[in-house]
Amino acid sequence: MKLFIASLFALIFLPLVALYLPPARTMPYTITIGNARIDVTVQNGRLAVSEGESSDWVRSAAESVATYYGHFPLPHVLIRITPGEGKGVGHGMTYGEGGGLITIRVGAETTRADLRSDWMLTHEMLHLAFPSMREKHHWIEEGIATYVEPIARVRAKQKDASEMWYELVRDLPQGLPAAGDRGLDHTHTWGRTYWGGALFCMLADIEIHRQTENKKGLEDALREILEAGGNITHDWELQKALSIGDRATGVQVLTTLYDKMKDKPYQVDLHALWIELGVERDGKTVRFIDNAPLAATRRAITYGQTEAPAKSTSVSDSTSVFAGHRMRRGNSR
């Protein structure tokens, strides 16, 4: 009888006790991108989107990063989604712990359309593909994620090129040095960290293309750094990453530009640069000028060397197709 009473107690009270326990992880699911495994857990709480819609969101972000790098940056990552108040995605954080962890909040009222236009999860996943830096070099981590995110989504057919360039023209001025600036290594404002870092990346991307006659780009440098083991689970010195990047492109662009921008307020005439690239702001969009001096560089930056927007390419043995995108497998460049 004692056993019966204990069972009765368990039956009635344990579910009540469970209500007051901290939320447990529920609904785990796994996504596979090439050889990489992404485990997703959703903390207890209500979400308006279905599990299928949230997994489509994770898959799209992972595919955009895999498109840019040629493969997903790490063999295994855990994504912990916490439902929150209201609408939209926020509070993304990426860690090297356990081989790669991303925590991100999704508002309970978030719709499928909100997830389809989200950029934050792509930004967080891009952090996986670069080594952890010292505090004063935080700008390169945020700069790469900020600059590459829209390019990765354009290349994965998730975003329009005109939207990407419109946003660059609109947002990049926030990365220019203000009065009293002491260079990227010593000016830790929000603008210089995110957009100053993105400015470094764009200038480097343009210059690599210019010096290699559009044969190499920033992605060649970033892919080589990743292939050399430079991912978020490792602490590296910035100089080491930049040197490896330069070795991949064959031109000393990253280390030279870093010397110019690290401890001085390096000035950039963005207006002149947009004209050279053939990007003309037109209200809430941009017009592309195809006979601009750096128009070919603009196209190479946008679409990469392997894929032009309107050109059809055949699938060869060295490529694999998933989710409608043509991908280079591994480090096949």
Residues at the contact surface with Zn ion, assessed by CB under 5 A: 142, 145
DSSP state, residue 332: -
3-class DSSP state for residue 305? Answer: coil
Is 142 or 246 the residue whose CB approaches Zn ion more closely? 142
Tell the smallest beta-carbon distance from residue 7 to Zn ion (Å): 51
Tell the smallest beta-carbon distance from residue 123 to Zn ion (Å): 5
Tell the smallest beta-carbon distance from residue 36 to Zn ion (Å): 20
Tell the smallest beta-carbon distance from residue 127 to Zn ion (Å): 6
Burial class (CB in 10 A: 0-12, 13-18, 19+), 154: buried
Is 144 or 208 the residue whose CB approaches Zn ion more closely? 144
Tell the smallest beta-carbon distance from residue 243 to Zn ion (Å): 24
Cβ atoms within 10 Å of 68's Cβ, excluding its own: 24
Is 145 or 156 the residue whose CB approaches Zn ion more closely? 145
Distances (CA, A) of 203 to 86, 93, 277, 298, 321: 38, 27, 12, 12, 32
CA neighbor of 292 nearest in space, from 313, 272, 307: 272
Nearest-angstrom CA–CA distance, 39 and 248: 32
Is 47 or 145 the residue whose CB approaches Zn ion more closely? 145
Tell the smallest beta-carbon distance from residue 145 to Zn ion (Å): 5
Burial class (CB in 10 A: 0-12, 13-18, 19+), 290: exposed
Nearest-angstrom CA–CA distance, 258 and 89: 33
Is 118 or 142 the residue whose CB approaches Zn ion more closely? 142
Which residue is at the shortest CB distance from Zn ion?
145
Is 63 or 142 the residue whose CB approaches Zn ion more closely? 142
